[in-house]
Every structure is written in C-alpha cells, then in structure tokens.
Structure 1
Amino acid sequence: MAVPKKRTSKSKSKLRKAKWKRKAYKEAEKALSLAKSVLTNKSKSFIYIKNHKNL
C-alpha cells in the first residue's frame, strides 16, 4: 500500500521560490543591460550587424 510523503514546510517552499525568483531577476538584469549597451553602441561582447537590408 502506498504511503503519502511528508508535507514540505512553508519555509522550505518559500526559500526555493525566492531562490528561483532571484535567479530570474539576475537574468532579466543582464538582458536589460545588454539591450542598453547595444542601443548605445557600447557593446563589446555582443556582435550585431548594422543596417543589413536582408533582415
């Protein structure tokens, strides 16, 4: 007969969710920073084509 697993405490689940949100926030900050640098033509780590007519 199957036995139900113990319930995860609220603090553990909140910690996991907070960690996931923090990771997502950092990635969003990186993406925004890259977008700003591309728009101001100061990007050194991102290669892009200027005024390409086939795109």
Structure 2
Amino acid sequence: MAVPKKRTSKSKKNSRRANWKQQAAKEARKALSLAQSVLTGKSHSFVFLTNNKPSKNTSETE
C-alpha cells in the first residue's frame, strides 16, 4: 500500500529556493563579466573568431 511522504517544511523549502537563486545570480554575474571582457577585448579565457580580415576567395583575382 502506498504511503504519502512527509511534508517539506517552509524553512527547508525557503532555504533550497534561496540557494537556487544565489547560484543563478552567481552564474549571471559570471556571464556578464565574461561578456564585458569580450567586448573590451581583454578576454584571455574565451576564444572566438572575428571576420575583420578580407577573405582570400574574393572575385578580385579573376
């Protein structure tokens, strides 16, 4: 026969929710920091390609 589980207390629920929100806020700060460093060009830990150079396969050689 199925037995219902005990109810989670408000303090435990609030504690878990606060922990989850704190982790989300930390990740948001990290993402914003990375975006700022990429935009200012000071990023050393994030590799991305830029298309500032003209391509070699243009029709100018024809």
Question: Which sections of structure 2, spanning at least 5 residues, go unmatched?
Answer: 55-62
Give me the whole-angstrom Cα distance separating, in 1, the residues matched to 2:49 and 2:37: 14
Question: Which sections of structure 1, spanning at least 5 residues, go unmatched?
Answer: none
Q: How many residue pairs align between the two structures?
A: 53
Moved over 2 A (4+): none
Give me the whole-angstrom Cα distance separating, in 2, the residues matched to 1:7 and 1:37: 46
Q: Name the residue aligned to 1:26.
A: 26
> How do 1:1-55 and structure 2 match up within 5 A?
1-51=1-51
Counterpart residue identity of residue 18, structure 2: A
Say which structure, 1 or 2, has more relative contact order (CA 8 Å, 6+ apart): 1
Q: How much is the aligned-residue C-alpha RMSD, in angstroms?
A: 1.5
TM-score, structure 2 as length reference: 0.77
Give me the whole-angstrom Cα distance separating, in 1, the residues matched to 2:37 and 2:43: 5
Counterpart residue identity of residue 3, structure 1: V
Identity of aligned residues (%): 66
